Protein backbone atom coordinates (compact mmCIF):
# COMPACT_ATOMS: atom_id res chain seq x y z
CA UNK A 1 0.00 0.00 0.00
CA UNK A 2 1.35 3.46 -0.91
CA UNK A 3 2.27 6.07 1.72
CA UNK A 4 -0.35 8.35 0.22
CA UNK A 5 -3.09 5.73 0.60
CA UNK A 6 -2.15 5.21 4.27
CA UNK A 7 -2.15 8.98 4.83
CA UNK A 8 -5.65 9.28 3.32
CA UNK A 9 -6.95 6.51 5.61
CA UNK A 10 -5.36 8.16 8.65
CA UNK A 11 -6.87 11.53 7.77
CA UNK A 12 -10.33 10.01 7.25
CA UNK A 13 -10.34 8.21 10.59
CA UNK A 14 -8.84 11.22 12.39
CA UNK A 15 -11.59 13.48 11.05
CA UNK A 16 -14.31 11.01 12.11
CA UNK A 17 -12.85 10.92 15.63
CA UNK A 18 -12.40 14.69 15.91
CA UNK A 19 -16.03 15.14 14.81
CA UNK A 20 -17.19 13.10 17.85
CA UNK A 21 -15.72 15.62 20.32
CA UNK A 22 -18.26 18.03 21.82
CA UNK A 23 -17.88 21.46 23.39
CA UNK A 24 -16.79 21.44 27.02
CA UNK A 25 -15.12 18.02 26.84
CA UNK A 26 -11.79 17.08 28.38
CA UNK A 27 -9.98 15.15 25.65
CA UNK A 28 -6.99 12.81 25.99
CA UNK A 29 -4.68 13.63 23.10
CA UNK A 30 -2.80 10.60 21.79
CA UNK A 31 0.60 10.39 20.16
CA UNK A 32 1.59 9.49 16.58
CA UNK A 33 0.86 10.43 13.00
CA UNK A 34 -2.87 9.59 13.13
CA UNK A 35 -3.51 11.55 16.31
CA UNK A 36 -1.48 14.43 14.88
CA UNK A 37 -4.30 14.74 12.30
CA UNK A 38 -6.90 14.48 15.11
CA UNK A 39 -5.25 17.40 16.93
CA UNK A 40 -5.14 19.40 13.69
CA UNK A 41 -8.85 18.73 12.98
CA UNK A 42 -9.80 19.67 16.56
CA UNK A 43 -7.87 22.92 16.09
CA UNK A 44 -9.82 23.55 12.84
CA UNK A 45 -13.15 23.01 14.65
CA UNK A 46 -12.11 25.39 17.46
CA UNK A 47 -11.02 28.03 14.96
CA UNK A 48 -14.19 27.90 12.90
CA UNK A 49 -16.38 28.12 16.03
CA UNK A 50 -17.94 24.62 15.75
CA UNK A 51 -16.35 23.68 19.07
CA UNK A 52 -15.57 25.63 22.23
CA UNK A 53 -14.14 25.21 25.69
CA UNK A 54 -12.39 21.86 25.16
CA UNK A 55 -9.28 21.04 27.15
CA UNK A 56 -6.64 18.52 26.13
CA UNK A 57 -4.61 16.13 28.28
CA UNK A 58 -1.51 15.33 26.21
CA UNK A 59 0.05 11.86 26.23
CA UNK A 60 3.49 13.08 25.19
CA UNK A 61 5.69 16.10 24.59
CA UNK A 62 4.89 15.70 20.87
CA UNK A 63 1.13 15.89 21.55
CA UNK A 64 1.54 18.96 23.75
CA UNK A 65 3.60 20.76 21.08
CA UNK A 66 0.97 20.00 18.42
CA UNK A 67 -1.90 20.99 20.72
CA UNK A 68 -0.28 24.37 21.40
CA UNK A 69 0.34 24.82 17.67
CA UNK A 70 -3.35 24.19 16.89
CA UNK A 71 -4.73 26.25 19.77
CA UNK A 72 -6.01 23.51 22.07
CA UNK A 73 -5.79 24.57 25.76
CA UNK A 74 -3.95 21.97 27.83
CA UNK A 75 -4.50 20.68 31.36
CA UNK A 76 -2.74 18.05 33.47
CA UNK A 77 -4.14 15.14 35.44
CA UNK A 78 -3.90 17.34 38.55
CA UNK A 79 -6.33 19.84 37.02
CA UNK A 80 -9.19 17.51 36.06
CA UNK A 81 -11.14 14.76 37.79
CA UNK A 82 -12.30 13.13 34.57
CA UNK A 83 -11.40 12.72 30.93
CA UNK A 84 -14.47 12.48 28.71
CA UNK A 85 -12.79 10.88 25.74
CA UNK A 86 -9.24 9.88 24.82
CA UNK A 87 -8.37 9.55 21.15
CA UNK A 88 -5.24 7.56 20.39
CA UNK A 89 -3.65 5.45 17.67
CA UNK A 90 -2.32 1.89 17.85
CA UNK A 91 0.26 -0.32 16.18
CA UNK A 92 -1.90 -3.45 16.26
CA UNK A 93 -5.58 -4.08 17.06
CA UNK A 94 -6.99 -7.59 17.52
CA UNK A 95 -10.64 -8.66 17.10
CA UNK A 96 -11.25 -8.21 20.88
CA UNK A 97 -10.06 -4.56 20.66
CA UNK A 98 -6.85 -5.36 22.50
CA UNK A 99 -3.88 -3.34 21.32
CA UNK A 100 -0.17 -3.04 20.97
CA UNK A 101 0.91 0.58 21.35
CA UNK A 102 4.21 2.39 21.86
CA UNK A 103 5.50 2.78 18.33
CA UNK A 104 6.07 6.38 19.35
CA UNK A 105 7.60 5.38 22.71
CA UNK A 106 4.71 7.11 24.51
CA UNK A 107 2.80 4.06 25.79
CA UNK A 108 3.40 4.76 29.51
CA UNK A 109 1.64 8.10 29.50
CA UNK A 110 -0.82 6.86 26.87
CA UNK A 111 -1.93 3.98 29.10
CA UNK A 112 -2.49 6.34 32.03
CA UNK A 113 -4.57 8.83 30.03
CA UNK A 114 -6.39 6.31 27.79
CA UNK A 115 -7.42 4.08 30.69
CA UNK A 116 -8.72 7.04 32.73
CA UNK A 117 -11.03 8.23 29.96
CA UNK A 118 -14.77 7.55 30.09
CA UNK A 119 -14.39 6.51 26.46
CA UNK A 120 -11.14 5.45 24.79
CA UNK A 121 -11.49 5.83 21.05
CA UNK A 122 -8.81 4.11 18.97
CA UNK A 123 -8.03 5.51 15.53
CA UNK A 124 -6.23 3.25 13.06
CA UNK A 125 -5.93 2.57 9.37
CA UNK A 126 -6.87 -0.91 8.21
CA UNK A 127 -3.21 -2.06 8.04
CA UNK A 128 -3.19 -2.19 11.86
CA UNK A 129 -5.83 -4.94 12.16
CA UNK A 130 -4.41 -8.35 13.12
CA UNK A 131 -5.82 -11.70 14.18
CA UNK A 132 -3.26 -12.10 16.97
CA UNK A 133 -1.29 -9.46 18.85
CA UNK A 134 2.44 -9.60 18.21
CA UNK A 135 2.14 -10.94 14.68
CA UNK A 136 3.43 -7.77 12.97
CA UNK A 137 4.77 -5.58 15.78
CA UNK A 138 6.96 -6.26 18.84
CA UNK A 139 5.83 -5.34 22.36
CA UNK A 140 7.46 -2.04 23.44
CA UNK A 141 8.66 -2.04 27.05
CA UNK A 142 9.79 1.16 28.79
CA UNK A 143 12.74 0.39 31.07
CA UNK A 144 14.75 2.40 33.59
CA UNK A 145 18.24 2.69 32.04
CA UNK A 146 20.00 1.22 35.09
CA UNK A 147 17.88 -1.93 34.82
CA UNK A 148 18.41 -2.54 31.10
CA UNK A 149 20.47 -5.74 31.48
CA UNK A 150 18.38 -7.54 34.13
CA UNK A 151 15.13 -6.57 32.40
CA UNK A 152 16.49 -7.84 29.05
CA UNK A 153 17.40 -11.16 30.68
CA UNK A 154 13.97 -11.45 32.32
CA UNK A 155 12.22 -10.78 29.00
CA UNK A 156 14.40 -13.39 27.28
CA UNK A 157 13.47 -15.88 30.01
CA UNK A 158 9.81 -15.20 29.15
CA UNK A 159 10.54 -16.30 25.56
CA UNK A 160 10.95 -12.81 24.09
CA UNK A 161 13.71 -11.34 21.93
CA UNK A 162 14.36 -7.85 23.34
CA UNK A 163 16.02 -5.22 21.17
CA UNK A 164 16.99 -1.77 22.39
CA UNK A 165 15.16 0.83 20.28
CA UNK A 166 17.61 3.14 18.55
CA UNK A 167 16.97 6.64 17.21
CA UNK A 168 16.51 7.20 13.49
CA UNK A 169 20.18 8.12 13.06
CA UNK A 170 21.19 4.95 14.98
CA UNK A 171 23.66 7.02 17.01
CA UNK A 172 21.98 6.38 20.35
CA UNK A 173 18.95 4.84 22.02
CA UNK A 174 15.51 6.42 21.90
CA UNK A 175 14.87 8.27 25.17
CA UNK A 176 11.26 8.48 26.35
CA UNK A 177 9.60 11.61 27.73
CA UNK A 178 10.33 10.13 31.18
CA UNK A 179 14.07 9.75 30.40
CA UNK A 180 14.02 5.96 29.93
CA UNK A 181 14.87 3.36 27.25
CA UNK A 182 12.50 1.23 25.16
CA UNK A 183 13.03 -2.48 24.51
CA UNK A 184 11.07 -3.83 21.54
CA UNK A 185 10.32 -7.43 22.41
CA UNK A 186 9.40 -9.99 19.75
CA UNK A 187 7.48 -13.06 20.90
CA UNK A 188 6.99 -16.07 18.61
CA UNK A 189 3.42 -16.23 19.89
CA UNK A 190 1.40 -14.30 22.46
CA UNK A 191 -1.06 -16.89 23.75
CA UNK A 192 -2.44 -14.83 26.65
CA UNK A 193 -1.97 -11.08 26.18
CA UNK A 194 -3.63 -10.20 29.50
CA UNK A 195 -1.27 -12.44 31.46
CA UNK A 196 1.80 -11.26 29.52
CA UNK A 197 0.89 -7.60 30.10
CA UNK A 198 0.86 -8.19 33.88
CA UNK A 199 3.93 -10.44 33.92
CA UNK A 200 6.08 -7.91 32.05
CA UNK A 201 4.98 -5.06 34.31
CA UNK A 202 5.97 -7.14 37.31
CA UNK A 203 9.65 -7.19 36.29
CA UNK A 204 11.53 -4.72 38.53
CA UNK A 205 12.79 -1.85 36.37
CA UNK A 206 9.90 -1.98 33.89
CA UNK A 207 7.79 1.17 33.81
CA UNK A 208 5.08 0.00 31.44
CA UNK A 209 4.58 -2.17 28.36
CA UNK A 210 2.63 -1.57 25.18
CA UNK A 211 0.03 -4.33 25.57
CA UNK A 212 -3.33 -2.61 26.18
CA UNK A 213 -5.78 -5.35 27.17
CA UNK A 214 -9.39 -4.36 27.85
CA UNK A 215 -8.66 -0.65 27.64
CA UNK A 216 -10.18 0.34 24.26
CA UNK A 217 -13.91 1.07 24.06
CA UNK A 218 -14.36 1.91 20.37
CA UNK A 219 -12.10 1.27 17.39
CA UNK A 220 -12.54 3.46 14.31
CA UNK A 221 -10.86 2.05 11.21
CA UNK A 222 -9.95 4.11 8.17
CA UNK A 223 -9.89 2.16 4.91
CA UNK A 224 -9.76 2.70 1.18
CA UNK A 225 -12.69 1.35 -0.81
CA UNK A 226 -12.29 1.60 -4.58
CA UNK A 227 -9.62 4.24 -3.99
CA UNK A 228 -11.84 6.34 -1.70
CA UNK A 229 -11.07 6.78 2.01
CA UNK A 230 -13.88 5.89 4.40
CA UNK A 231 -14.40 4.95 8.07
Binding residues, as ranges, are 31-34, 88-91, 101-104, 128
Least Å from the CB of residue 160 to ligand 5RP: 19
Q: Counting contacts by CB under 6 A, is residue 107 touching ligand 5RP? A: yes
- Say if CB 217 and CB 106 are below 8 A apart: no
Binding residues for substrate: 31-34, 88-91, 101-104, 128
Cα(9)–Cα(75) distance, integer angstroms? 29
What Å distances lie between residue 62 and 16, 120, 127, 181, CA to CA? 22, 19, 23, 17
Question: Using CB under 6 A, which of 31, 108, 176, 209 touches ligand 5RP?
Answer: 31
Q: Starting from the edge strand earliest in sequence, which strands make up the sheet with 99-100, in order? A: 92-93, 99-100, 211-212
Does the annotation count 110 as an active-site position?
yes
Rounded to whole angstroms, the Cα distance separating 198 from 219 reads 23
Q: Which position among 104, 134, 138, 222 is part of the footprint of ligand 5RP (CB under 6 A)?
A: 104
Please identify, using beta-carbon distances, which residue of 2 and 48 lies nearer to ligand 5RP: 2
Q: Which is nearer to ligand 5RP, 139 or 151 (CB)?
A: 139
User: What is the Cα–Cα distance from 146 to 229, expressed in whole angstroms?
Assistant: 46
Among 90, 113, 141, 190, indicate the residue that binds ligand 5RP (CB under 6 A): 90
User: Per the residue annotation, which of 40, 50, 92, 110 is the catalytic one?
Assistant: 110
Sheet-wide strand order for 55-58: 55-58, 26-29, 83-88, 117-125, 218-225, 228-230
x-or-dash string of contact with ligand 5RP, 41-60, rule CB under 6 A? --------------------
Give the residue numbers marked as catalytic.
Answer: 110
Amino acid sequence: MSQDAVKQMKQAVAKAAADRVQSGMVVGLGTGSTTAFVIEFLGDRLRNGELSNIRGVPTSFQASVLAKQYGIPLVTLDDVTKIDVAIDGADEVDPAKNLIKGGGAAHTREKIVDSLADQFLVVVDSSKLVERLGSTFPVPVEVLPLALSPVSRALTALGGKPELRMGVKKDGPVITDQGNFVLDVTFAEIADAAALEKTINNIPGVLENGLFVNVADVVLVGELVEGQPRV
